[in-house]
Amino acid sequence: MIDQELFKENFSFFDKEVVLEIIDIFINEYPDRMQTLELDIKNSDSESIKFNAHSIKGVIANFIDEESKELAKELEYKGRNNDNEGTEEIFQNLKISGDKLIEDLKELRKNYM
């Protein structure tokens, strides 16, 4: 879940159009990013898990969603340590949390239109 106060604070210096663009890019790229990460997990590709989880974590951090960020961080850590145990469960939790993030962003987006 997005910390809306921190979100507004972080994006307070941006034009509304820029905020909308940042939100839209994330919403549009998110499904492909998650699909890639899921494939990495299915293939037990630790290096790719580390890289793609790190990338997702960084983007999510922009939106002040600690739960999703921490789950992506866990996957990054698992990939870094070549530890595939529990990655599917963590991924499923990230997917649930990330889907909530998308819904939150769609709602927040309305404030910038």
Element (H or E) spanning 62, and its range? none
As a whole number, mean pLDDT of residues 19-26 equals: 94
User: Could you tell me the two tokens for 28?
Assistant: 């549009």
Average pLDDT over the chain reads 94
Q: Could you tell me if 4 and 108 are in contact, meaning their C-beta atoms sit under 8 angstroms apart?
A: yes
Q: Cα 40 vs. chain centroid, distance in angstroms?
A: 16
Is this model's pTM higher than 0.85 or not? yes
- Write down the pLDDT at residue 8: 86
Q: Could you tell me if 112 and 16 are in contact, meaning their C-beta atoms sit under 8 angstroms apart?
A: yes
Helix axes 66-80, 87-109, angle to 10 degrees: 150
Residue 41 in this model has a pLDDT that exceeds 90? yes
Options 1.10.150.530, 2.60.40.10, 3.40.50.300, 1.20.120.160; CATH for 16-112 is: 1.20.120.160
